[in-house]
Amino acid sequence: MTMTGVHDPYLVSLSIVIAIIGAFTALSLASRIRTSSGRSRSAWLAAAATALGGGIWSMHFVAMLAFSMPGMLMSYEITATLLSLCLAIGFTGAGLAIVDWRRAAASRTLAAGLLIGAGVVSMHYLGMAGMRIPATLTYDARWVAVSVAIAMVAATLAVWLAGREHRLGGRAGASVAMGVAIAGMHYVGMYAATFTPSRGVGPQDGLATVGQAYLATAIGLLTLLVLLLGLGAVWVERLLRRGTAREDRLRFLTELNDRLFRSSDAWHAMRAASELLGRKLGASRCAYADVGPDGDRFWIRSDYTAPGLESSVGEYNLDLFGPRAASDLRAGQALVVRNVVRELAPGEGREMFEAIAIDAIICCPLISDDRLSAMMAVHQDRARDWTPFEISLVKEAVERCWAHVGRIGAEARLRESEERLRLAVDNAEVGFWDLDVVNDALVWPARTKAMFGISPGVPVTFENFYGGLHDDDREPTMAAFTAAIDPEQRALYDVEYRTVGKEDGVVRWVAAKGRGVFDEAGRCLRVAGTAVEITSRKCAEEALRELNATLEARVATALEEREAVEDALRQSQKMESMGQLTGGVAHDFNNLLTPIIGSLDLLQRKGVGGEREQRLIAGAMQSAERAKTLVQRLLAFARRQPLQPVAVDIGLLVQGMRDLVASTTGPQVELVIDVSTDLPCARADQNQLEMAILNLSVNARDAMPDGGTLHLSARAETVGPGHRSGLNAERYLYISVADTGSGMDEATLARAAEPFFSTKGVGKGTGLGLSMVHGLASQLGGALTLQSQIGVGTTVELWLPVSAAEAQVETMPEKVVSPMMTGTALVVDDEDMVRMTTADMLADLGYHVIEASSGEEALRLMGAGVQFDLLVTDHLMPGMTGTDLACTVRNLAPERQVLIVSGYAETAGIDATLPRLTKPFRRDDLASSLRQLIG
């Protein structure tokens, strides 16, 4: 016979309530698993398993106690009952342990649900097996399968719900659904059971008793108490976690602020913030970008990336990320995407997000001047259910970043403005001043302090201003200041005053301007303004006043100086003209003297005539030699005499002329020679220099008719600017000839170096002595200076340049008798008498002579086949010069010898390699030149 059981409605309701509360507690505890790690996660996992498994078991046991069969006594085996409890908790814990709480993985959720469902089924049927009743228990397989399916579905639903974030209302609804499903599984399982009595039963046995209801109630209440404690733990932990989260949030924001303020510029600030935010959220990437003026193109300058991920740095277009991203960000709203694949359809930006490995994102915009100007975003390379806390944290962090970037920009603009102001003030050399009248505090920058002679670091008071004023300017300056702070006058403080430096005592001029600042009651609060040092301007004004006062005198002085310069210029031009004239005349004299001296020399050599004739020839020769000397002096004055500058030992030369000068000046003149030791060599013509010293000594002797002292000295000196010699700044040698004679007045001294000017009587001098020395010094690159005073004497200084070469020791040449020479000589000269005389000399030396009056004629003779061995040609001729002719002859016949004859010292146009003989010359001079040429 089949027995039918009954259920206590009260206990059935209690079992369902236990199931619902157990599900609610388990879901609450499971939410802690997702946000915990380490030991805390294990503890919450165990608590959730106990709440869900224990709640299911308690619901099952109370439901079993609610079941009774009339006529049969029922009891439960404690071991099986407790084992069913362990199975429920163990299977539930194992199932929850394999759930991926960070990512919604369907495979793991299903496996966990099956495992927990198996635990529920095992717990139920093991509990049924632990029931002791005098009946045989059988099951309807169909309803057993239904109960198993309900258990599996309910368990999987529980796991899925546990892995999601729920608000309180959602969690309560899910708990009711789970509780009803789990209770339904139990009662379906009970419905599948069939009880067959094994012996007779009495009608009074098997009915539910009061004790059974008490036991069920006690177990239910105990279970509810445990579940409530679990909920309390969740609530307490949530409060603690919220407090910890707030502290953690504050620590993060504090660290963020520190990192931002330690950053020197916006780029470093955003880079530091990106790294800090990315690490805080465990994001795969955190980036910031600048948006172009078009609101579409943006540039990710730098980003934080987790290990193993590529950077997103580069240029992008916002519209490619889809209309949702573009519209939200341009409207100033944060873009939050938890699952790109689910939330964005193909063609709506999904492809662009996936291209840079973004499956979830929080992006916050910066709107500036009514347009999108920058963005900062947190990326995740997998779907992520962003929590409100995370979204809020990102928004607040980004807002702080934008605020800091704005502050940095404002500070940069302020620094730039201050720098421009500082540069303007520094370049304008303006100082500021600010007097706080209420607190009697004075502010001066370093430039203003410098105007009062005070160091930059020294503090100042109003007494420094008052005490630093010049005595003569203190009263008007203070009167102007009093008018500026007077509320009735409120005058512009505009004064110029002198200061006396407190530390350096320097007097400076200062121009100051300023105005007072008054409150509503008319009280002066402060006076501020500028100060400019005008010392240079005042000095210029004073100089201008003095200039105007002395203008007439300075104009007169300038006119006198101009007249002196003009006189010197006229004198120089006169000397230059005389030099050119003298040089030309001397050249013509040389051409005239050449045939005269040559002819007289031949007559002397041949002994023409008797004794009387030879005496006349000798007198004529003596006059010709004097004329030659005169011409040489004229050339020296004109600076056109032929010189042979070499290195000359001045000290040795002056010492060597001691006897010659002493014999020339006579016994009445005391000769004193003073030569410095270790003198360098001078660049000079030794013969001409000796002649110059001798001429100067003779002039000194003539200036001392009654005797005196002649000082002949040699020194070396470095000439500087403004030297009396007028030479360039170099090192020179000078020879000084000083006498103690009558001296010269200024007028005589001014004309002393003019040619033909002489203070001697008629017939006692040519007036060319000083002129020759002056011309010699100028031609050598030196100068002649004269200093004289009536009754004291005259000093003549001959300045010569220093030679870089060393002086050569001269050896006396052996006297060589001129031999007879043979060959054919071509004589070329445009002066017939000079050409004839030269031809006679060459013939006397043994040459066969051919004459030509010009260079062109000589070339025609060569073209006609005329042969010659020696060419003797004048240099200055009409048409072709002698130098041009010589070069042409050398090119045509290099073996022919060439000798240039010139009566002019001008060497321009003469080849330095060509041998040269100066007019006038004797037969021996010509022979000597030819001997050097041939030898």
Asked if 801 and 683 touch (Cβ cutoff 8 Å), the reply is yes
The pLDDT-based confidence of 697 (bands split at 50, 70, 90) is confident
pLDDT at 851 over 90: yes
DSSP element (H, E) containing 640: none
pLDDT in tens, 67-119: 666 666 767 777 777 787 787 777 777 776 776 655 656 777 777 777 777 77
Q: Would you state the pLDDT for residue 507?
A: 92
pLDDT band for 761, please (50, 70, 90 cuts).
very low
Helix (H, G, I), strand (E, B) or coil at 837: helix
Sequence letter at residue 373: S
Tokens of 390: 């995370």
Angle (CA) 325-330-334 rounded to 5° is 60
Predicted local confidence at residue 5, as pLDDT: 62
φ and ψ of 546, to 5 deg:
-65, -35
Mean pLDDT of 365-370: 84
Alpha-carbon torsion (279, 285, 286, 287), positive or negative: positive
- Is 739 in contact with 704 (CB distance < 8 Å)? yes
Helix (H, G, I), strand (E, B) or coil at 306: coil
Closest to 374 (Cα-Cα) out of 260, 284, 280, 297:
297
pLDDT digits (tens, 9 = 90+) for 517-567: 998 888 998 999 989 888 888 888 888 888 888 887 878 887 887 776 677
pLDDT confidence of residue 650: 86
DSSP readout, 113-142? HHHHHHHHHHHHHHHHHTEE-SEEEEE-HH
* pLDDT value of position 308: 84
* The CATH number fitting domain 824-934, selected from 3.40.50.2300, 3.40.50.720, 1.10.10.10, 3.20.20.80: 3.40.50.2300
For the residues 905-930, what does the mean pLDDT come to?
A: 75
405 touches 266 (CB < 8 A) = yes
Q: What is the 3-state secondary structure (H, E, C) of 418-465?
A: HHHHHHHHHHHCEEEEEEECCCCEEECCHHHHHHCCCCCCCCCCHHHH
* pLDDT, position 202: 46
* Mean of pLDDT over the chain: 78
CA distance 229 to 22: 11
- Determine contact, residues 360/384, Cβ cutoff 8 Å: yes
Give the per-residue pLDDT at 34: 66
Q: What percent of the chain has pLDDT over 90?
A: 13
Question: Residue 574: pLDDT above 80?
Answer: no
pLDDT value at residue 144: 78
Segment 806-822, tens digit of pLDDT: 655 444 444 444 445 68
What does DSSP assign to residue 259?
H
More confident residue, 362 or 643: 362
Which CA distances in Å does 900 have to 86, 205, 909? Answer: 142, 172, 12
Judge whether 263-413 and 429-546 match in fold.
yes
What's the confidence (pLDDT) of residue 241? 61
Please say if the pLDDT value at position 731 is more than 80: yes
The answer to whether 325 and 365 are in contact (CB under 8 A) is no
Per the omega criterion (within 30 degrees of 0), is the bond before 346 cis?
A: no
Task: Work out the number of other CB atoms within 10 angstroms of the CB of residue 651.
Answer: 21
Do 766 and 630 meet the contact criterion of CB atoms below 8 Å apart? yes
What's the pLDDT at 561?
75
Averaged pLDDT, 375-382: 90
**Burial class for 141, CB neighbours closer than 10 Å (0-12, 13-18, 19+):** exposed
- What b/e sequence results for 500-528 when a residue is b if at least 16 CB atoms lie within 10 Å of its CB, and e otherwise? bebeeeeebbbebebbbbeeeeeebebbe
What integer pLDDT is reported at residue 614 of this predicted model?
A: 73
Greater model confidence, 774 or 896: 896
Q: How many Cβ atoms sit within 10 Å of the Cβ of residue 754? A: 18
- Report field, pTM of the whole predicted structure over 0.85: no
Most confident of 287-301, 389-403, 567-581: 287-301
Residue 234 has what pLDDT? Answer: 60
Higher pLDDT pick, 771 / 163: 771
Q: How far apart are CA 843 and CA 839, in angstroms?
A: 6
Q: Which helix (H) or strand (E) element contains residue 399?
A: helix 388-428
Paired residues of 303 in beta bridges: 287
Q: Please list, residue by residue across 804-843, b when 16 or more beta carbons sit within 10 angstroms of its beta carbon and e when fewer do.
A: eeebeeeeeeeeeeeeebeeebbbbbbbeebbbbbbbbbe
Q: Bridge partners of 737?
A: 712, 796
Consecutive H or E run containing 25: helix 9-34
Average pLDDT over residues 893-918: 74
State pLDDT tens for residues 460-485: 988 888 899 999 999 999 999 999 99
Cα separation, 359 vs 339, in Å, equals: 6
Query: What is the spatial distance between Cα 508 and Cα 431, in angstroms, rounded to a whole number?
Result: 14
Residue 495 has pLDDT above 90, yes or no: yes
For the CA atoms of 746, 750, 756, 760, the dihedral, rounded to the nearest 10 degrees, stands at 20
Mean pLDDT computed over 659-682: 84
User: What is the spatial distance between Cα 327 and Cα 298, in angstroms, rounded to a whole number?
Assistant: 15
170, pLDDT greater than 70 = no
User: In the prediction, which pLDDT does 336 show?
Assistant: 93
Cβ atoms of residues 263 and 272 within 8 Å: yes
- Asked which of 269-273, 289-293, 470-474, 820-824 is least confident by mean pLDDT, the reply is 820-824
How far apart, in whole angstroms, are the C-alpha atoms of residue 528 and residue 485? 11
Name every residue whose Cβ is closer than 8 Å to that of residue 813 and which is 6 or more positions away in sequence.
none
How many Å apart are CA 302 and CA 325, to the nearest integer?
21
pLDDT score, position 565: 67
User: Distance (Å, rounded) from C-alpha 67 to C-alpha 15?
Assistant: 12
| Integer Cα distance of 274 and 260 in angstroms | 11
CA end-to-end span of the chain, whole Å? Answer: 172
- Tokens at residue 150, please? 């309900």
Helices 388-428 and 266-281 pack at an angle, to 10 degrees, of 170
Q: Is 326 left (phi over 0), alpha (psi -120 to 50) or beta?
A: alpha
Q: Span 880-908, mean pLDDT? A: 81
More confident residue, 241 or 329: 329
Most confident of 93-102, 566-575, 620-629, 886-895: 886-895
Which pLDDT score is estimated for 428? 56
Cβ pair 189, 144 in contact under 8 A: yes
Encoded tokens for 255: 């660290």
Among 195-209, 619-633, 885-899, name the one with the lowest average pLDDT. Answer: 195-209
3-class SS string, 526-585: EEEEEEEECHHHHHHHHHHHHHHHCHHHHHHHHHHHHHHHHHHHHHHHHHHHHHHHHHHH
- Name which CATH class applies to 643-801: alpha beta
User: Which tokens in the block code for residue 875?
Assistant: 């240099």
Q: Taking 50 as the threshold, does the pLDDT of residue 706 lie above it?
A: yes
Helix (H, G, I), strand (E, B) or coil at 646: strand
Query: For the chain, what are the domain ranges?
Result: 6-235, 263-413, 429-546, 643-801, 824-934
Mind listing the pLDDT tens digit for each residue in 437-447?
A: 888 888 888 88
Please give the torsion angle defined by the CA atoms of residues 576, 579, 580 and 582, in that order, rounded to the nearest 10 degrees.
160
CB 735 within 8 A of CB 797: yes
**Between 809 and 11, where is the model more confident?**
11
Share of the chain above pLDDT 70, in %: 75
Pairing of strands 731-739, 793-801: antiparallel
Looking at per-residue confidence, does 488 or 769 come out higher?
488
pLDDT at position 437 is: 86
Query: Between these two residues, 850 and 633, which has the higher pLDDT value?
Result: 850
Residues 6+ apart with CB under 8 A from 487: 518, 522, 523, 524
pLDDT at 201 over 60: no
* Listed residue (918, 916, 898) closest to 826, CA to CA: 898
* Of 35-39, 46-50, 276-280, the least confident: 35-39
263-413 to CATH, choices 3.50.50.60, 3.30.450.40, 2.30.30.90, 3.40.50.300: 3.30.450.40
Cα distance between residue 794 and residue 876, in whole Å:
42
429-546 folds as Beta-Lactamase (3.30.450)
- Show the 3-state SS of 595-618: HHHHHHHHHHHHCCCCHHHHHHHH
Q: What is the pLDDT of residue 469?
A: 92
User: What is the arithmetic mean of pLDDT over 361-370?
Assistant: 87
Q: Which residues contact 483 (CB under 8 A, 6 or more apart)?
A: 489, 491, 493
Q: What is the mean pLDDT of residues 267-274?
A: 80
pLDDT at residue 281 in the model: 86
Please give the pLDDT value at position 667: 82
Identify the pLDDT of residue 297: 92
Return the amino acid letter for 897. Answer: Q
